[in-house]
Amino acid sequence: MDDFSLRLVKCKQDNQELNKLIEEYMPFITSEAAKTGITGLEMEDKVSLAMLTFMNCVKTYEEGRGGFIAYAAMCIRNRILDEGRKSKRQGFIVLHDDDEKERAVWNVASTSQYSKEQEKIALREEIERLSTELAEYQISFTSLVDICPKQKRSRAVCMQMARAILADGEMRDKLVRARQLSVGNLAKSCRVSQKTVEKYRRYVIVLVLILSGDFPYIGTYLPTEKGGED
């Protein structure tokens, strides 16, 4: 089971983890809600519906049946369209926790192929945007093969460093404006040597860009902060 799927399993059992996941994916949830051009629903209602649907998707997701993000995107769209139509008829919407619709999406055979196509299009678009952002730091995808840590533990440490940068306004600003990492501060904050920060500097920058940008699909392939055996 891959790292993201393991995380989803944890979210099914732990509400705190689920809330953390929703917080991280709010940009995705909001953007999917905004994409549905349906009238009759306020944006606020769409976002609420989208959040609820996302939670239900976590509950109903089964590994091996396609990508979670594509599944969630489809469910959010369907749900908002449904509720939009209902609200036009009855004049109001009901926010209820009903995962039957999400389960129904799983059972449609054509869904798998559609979600794969959607995933590919979305990934291509994310890869292109990420490539543009990385170019500003003079990092190419091919160079990532050499700079990426080989050990899972090292990648976990890099994730910790990336999150530490995002949590610290000063470090984050310095990276965005001056394209520089605060090596000393970061080493202190994450209790690693400055040598480690220097060694993985460019990979950490990649992680920061993915975490802070709109890359929900690529984001599911990121390392976790817990290392261990590969």
Interface positions with other proteins (CB under 8 A): 2-4, 67, 116, 119-121, 123-124, 127, 140-142, 144-145, 148-155, 158-159, 191-193, 195-196, 199, 207, 217-218, 221-224, 227, 230
> For residues 154 and 212, which CB has a smaller minimum distance to other proteins in the complex?
154
| Closest separation in Å from C-beta 124 to other proteins | 4
> For residues 38 and 183, which CB has a smaller minimum distance to other proteins in the complex?
183
Dist CA 199 CA 51 (whole Å): 39
From 114, 135, 149, select the one nearest 222 (Cα to Cα): 149
> For residues 53 and 182, which CB has a smaller minimum distance to other proteins in the complex?
182
| Closest separation in Å from C-beta 183 to other proteins | 13
> For residues 23 and 229, which CB has a smaller minimum distance to other proteins in the complex?
229
**Those residues with Cβ within 8 angstroms of residue 123's Cβ, 6 or more apart along the chain or in another chain:** 217, 218
Distance, CA of 47 to chain centre? 16
> For residues 26 and 127, which CB has a smaller minimum distance to other proteins in the complex?
127
DSSP output for 208-226:
HHHHHTT-HHHHTTSPPS-
| Closest separation in Å from C-beta 163 to other proteins | 13
| Closest separation in Å from C-beta 142 to other proteins | 5
| Closest separation in Å from C-beta 54 to other proteins | 21
Dist CA 67 CA 126 (whole Å): 15
104 with 170: CB under 8 angstroms? no
**Residue 149 identity:** P
The angle formed by the CA atoms of residues 100, 104 and 110, to the nearest 5 degrees, is 165
